[in-house]
Amino acid sequence: MQWAQIKTLFIICFLILNIFLVRQLIDRQEENLSFIPEATREDELALNLSGLDNLSDQTYSAPLIYAKNYQYNEETLEEVDALDNQRAAVINSTHLFSRFDHPIDVSMDDPQRLREIIDNNILYGESYMFWERDEQANVLIFFQRIEEPVFYNQHAVLLIQLNRDGEMVQYVQTRLQQEEDSEEEQDLILQYDAVSRLYYNSNELNTGDTIDSIRLGYHNLISLPNGEQVLNPAWNIQVNEDRNYFINAIEGHGYPRNRDFLQTTVASFTDVIDNASENNFQFIHTEDAEEEARLLNTIKQSLISVYHTIIEVESE
């Protein structure tokens, strides 16, 4: 009987002890959580930006890409040769300038048809992704995809010039080629973190802005003198349907805006025409030197007029 009473007493004691211990443990865990002020930052972000629900919680990984300029060799030139209705010049084996004999109508309202036209009239056209149409300069900008799009890279771009009737008249194409097998995949920062860094580290976002979409691509700032490039995975964040930002997806730093990309690219393309020595030209579908000179000149004048249009718009 006495033993039974002692047992009851012990049970009560241990019960109290256990309640105390459980509370201790919970306290410690909460203490740990309170070190992370994320909660308030999250609230602030949610309060000031809309469209955060579009972000994925998934963890992505991607390798860095080492690429160099694609060389248009004999074989690929034959493929260009197979394309009708255009006369082309390859300069330094890296830049393809081409002009259509008869302008091709592109309907911007029908993405399917645009895709078809690009695929059928441009070498490796299927590897270029439509980025935007510059209304002032009347130029379509396409970015090359190496698994993912390579954003704003002068060496991985397709610029198509349109005439007033919205028909393609000429284009310039550059390509990158992956140099070595991809290195190991690297873990990328979460989409949410990319937006958060854009919001807190740059002063670019305002209250009320909407995050429309976010996608993975590649971007870099510096290329090596031999043309080799180290392409870093980057999150492209589209805001309010017209502004694009890029956040390095490994380190999380922002990139400068590419406001004068078209201007500098067009300028560098005209430089390529001007500075190339004579034996760095290869022509396709031309008959004599006179025609070649005329073709080059037409393409160059057309690029220069695009350049002037951009500058005029800027100075207004």
Q: Which residues bind other proteins (CB under 8 A)?
A: 4, 7-8, 10-11, 14-15, 17-18, 21-22, 24-25, 28-29, 31-32, 35, 64, 66, 183, 219-226, 228-232, 248, 250-251, 253-256
| Interatomic CA distance for residues 311 and 137, integer angstroms | 10
| Interatomic CA distance for residues 180 and 237, integer angstroms | 29
| Interatomic CA distance for residues 96 and 156, integer angstroms | 12
**53: its two tokens:** 């629900």
| Interatomic CA distance for residues 17 and 20, integer angstroms | 5
Nearer to other proteins, 36 or 289 (CB): 36
CA distances from 69 to 2, 92, 235, 304 (A): 92, 10, 23, 24
Task: State phi, psi for 76 to the nearest 5 degrees.
Answer: -70, -30
Nearer to other proteins, 7 or 102 (CB): 7
**66: its two tokens:** 């080492």
Nearer to other proteins, 93 or 282 (CB): 93
Q: How far is the CB of 183 from other proteins (least distance, A)?
A: 8
**Strand, coil or helix: what is 5?**
helix
Q: How far is the CB of 100 from other proteins (least distance, A)?
A: 35
Nearer to other proteins, 175 or 219 (CB): 219
Q: How far is the CB of 118 from other proteins (least distance, A)?
A: 28
Q: How far is the CB of 26 from other proteins (least distance, A)?
A: 11
| Interatomic CA distance for residues 49 and 239, integer angstroms | 10
Q: How far is the CB of 303 from other proteins (least distance, A)?
A: 26
Nearer to other proteins, 33 or 82 (CB): 33
Nearer to other proteins, 210 or 275 (CB): 275
Q: How far is the CB of 252 from other proteins (least distance, A)?
A: 11
Output 196-200 pairs: Cβ under 8 A, ≥24 positions apart.
196/41, 196/45, 197/247, 197/252, 197/253, 197/254, 198/237, 198/245, 198/247, 198/254, 199/45, 199/48, 199/49, 200/41
CA torsion 263→114→79→81, rounded to 10°? -80
Q: How far is the CB of 18 from other proteins (least distance, A)?
A: 5
Nearer to other proteins, 122 or 198 (CB): 198
Nearer to other proteins, 183 or 314 (CB): 183
Q: For strand 167-173 and strand 95-105, is the pairing parallel, antiparallel, or unpaired?
A: antiparallel
Q: How far is the CB of 249 from other proteins (least distance, A)?
A: 12
**18: its two tokens:** 């256990």
